[in-house]
């Protein structure tokens, strides 16, 4: 039987900022079409399997928690299939990022399919995510025309943010673009040697960030990434199905769910903490002052989590920025705390988990 246990897409409309900014622009503009509408669903915990005693221990599944960034510049609008079923994440158009989505599961299979297309002919996938209770960002990069569109992922660090500081993740999503340095207007090197995220930064990412934020938390992070490759397609058919089991047989033979493996590509993104303020940031080809993109007066709010992606093509680079306000972050962390507490409590077959926020 097909399972699709959607728990929550934590997207609070007032706290999302999606800003595609193209080279040399000085004033970001909000583009609401790159964000998702919030959803919240009640998800029933599966009852105790036959033959297991409810007294043998709590049945608390792992959580697969992810968000998707869509940075394939020539890619079509896509729908996301979860374990072979169309999810609520549809018509995701470049460039875009979803909110956080949670499923209680040990594994989850995602396919990124051109809108209205065949799920067995995805743009990317299927990829397999493990239920590790992490905050996983999945980034679609590469080119549809060249057949290089692929998914990479890394785990976001959501802990130990100093009060009043802003945590910012930066990644390079321009296939064929040069390795870059990210520099503040005062010359501070936020990150050096940041390569295209699809292959990782083989030379190693470094930073000169020293602030009251990073002094307290030691918070410059080079984020280790993996890429996905599909190894098999699985279609389960019951060999000895009876007439009474025909419905189960038909369901088992529905479109295949992929199984993928992962390969480490080293560090593909960087993350650092800065005091709340407005910043001017320049993206240069490494070792030069040649600006690919300049961002002026970028506001980083206190207690916020931000993502800045260098996107587009080598000839027309741009920037996509996304922020979660302090209120949204509190909701995410509260949801994590609730999940942690649930793992310590016994659940009956009728138990439910309600999305925070």
Please give the full DSSP string across 186-205, using - where no structure is assigned. TS-EEEEEE-BTTT--TT--
Q: Looking at residues 155-175, what average pLDDT do you find?
A: 90
pLDDT at 263 over 70: yes
Q: Which two tokens stand for residue 233?
A: 């397609």
Report the distance separating Cα 109 and Cα 161, nearest Å: 31
**Per-residue pLDDT tens over the stretch 227-248:** 887 654 444 444 444 455 444 4
What's the CA gap between 101 and 306, in Å, rounded? 17
Termini Cα distance of the chain: 30
**What percentage of the chain exceeds 90 in pLDDT?**
39
Task: Provide the pLDDT confidence category of residue 132 given band limits of 50, 70 and 90.
Answer: confident
67-107 pLDDT per residue, tens: 999 999 999 999 999 999 999 999 999 999 998 898 999 99
Which of 1, 67, 74, 71 minimizes the C-alpha distance to 36? 67
The arithmetic mean of pLDDT across residues 269-276, rounded, is 91
Q: In this structure, are strands 277-285 and 107-114 parallel, antiparallel, or unpaired?
A: unpaired
User: Do 302 and 163 touch, CB atoms closer than 8 A?
Assistant: yes
Of the candidates 147, 198, 208, the one whose C-alpha atom is nearest the C-alpha of residue 177 is 198
pLDDT score at 329: 58
Spatial separation of the C-alpha atoms in residues 305 and 297, rounded to whole Å:
17
Structure token pair of residue 81: 């299939």
The 10s digit of each residue's pLDDT in 6-45 is 433 433 333 344 444 444 343 333 333 333 333 333 333 2
Average pLDDT over residues 274-286: 93
Does residue 167 carry a pLDDT above 60? yes
Q: Is the pLDDT of residue 155 over 80?
A: yes
Q: What is the pLDDT of residue 55?
A: 40
Task: Kindly report, residue by residue over 283-302, the tens digit of the pLDDT.
Answer: 999 999 888 899 888 999 99
Q: What is the pTM of this model?
A: 0.73
- Rounded to the nearest integer, the mean pLDDT of the chain is 74
CA dist 2 and 311 (Å) reads: 36
Quick one: average pLDDT of 298-315? 92
Q: What is the arithmetic mean of pLDDT over 271-286? A: 92
Q: Residue 168 above 60 pLDDT? A: yes
Domain ranges of the chain: 8-46+60-343
């Amino acid at each position: 039987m097909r399972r699709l246990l959607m728990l929550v897409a934590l997207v609070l409309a007032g706290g999302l900022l999606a800003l595609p900014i193209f080279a040399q622009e000085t004033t970001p503009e909000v583009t609401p079409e790159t964000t998702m509408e919030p959803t919240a669903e009640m998800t029933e915990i599966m009852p105790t399997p036959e033959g297991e005693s409810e007294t043998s221990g709590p049945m608390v599944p792992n959580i697969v928690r992810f968000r998707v960034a869509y940075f394939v510049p020539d890619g079509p609008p896509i729908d996301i299939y979860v374990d072979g079923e169309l999810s609520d994440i549809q018509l995701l158009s470049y460039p875009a990022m979803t909110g956080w989505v949670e499923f209680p599961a040990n594994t989850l299979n995602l396919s990124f399919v051109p809108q209205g297309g065949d799920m067995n002919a995805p743009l990317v996938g299927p990829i397999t995510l493990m239920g590790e209770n992490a905050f996983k960002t999945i980034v679609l990069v590469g080119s549809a025309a060249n057949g290089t569109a692929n998914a990479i992922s890394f785990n976001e660090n959501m802990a130990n943010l100093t009060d009043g500081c802003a945590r910012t993740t930066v990644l390079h999503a321009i296939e064929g673009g040069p390795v870059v340095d990210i520099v503040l207007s005062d010359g501070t090197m936020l990150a050096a040697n940041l390569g295209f995220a699809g292959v990782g930064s083989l030379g190693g990412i470094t930073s000169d960030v020293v602030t009251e934020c990073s002094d307290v938390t030691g918070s410059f992070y080079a984020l280790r990434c993996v890429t996905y490759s599909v190894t098999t397609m699985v279609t389960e058919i019951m060999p000895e199905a009876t007439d009474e089991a025909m419905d189960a047989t038909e369901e088992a033979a529905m479109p295949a769910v992929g199984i993928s493996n992962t390969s480490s590509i080293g560090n593909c993104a960087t993350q650092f903490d800065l005091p709340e303020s407005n910043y001017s940031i320049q993206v240069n080809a490494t070792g030069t002052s040649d600006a690919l993109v300049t961002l002026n007066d970028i506001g980083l709010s206190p207690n916020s989590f931000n993502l800045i992606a260098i996107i587009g093509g080598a000839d027309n680079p741009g920037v996509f920025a996304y922020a979660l306000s302090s209120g949204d972050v509190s909701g995410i962390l509260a949801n994590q705390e609730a999940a942690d507490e649930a793992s310590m409590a016994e659940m009956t077959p009728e138990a439910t988990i309600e999305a925070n926020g």
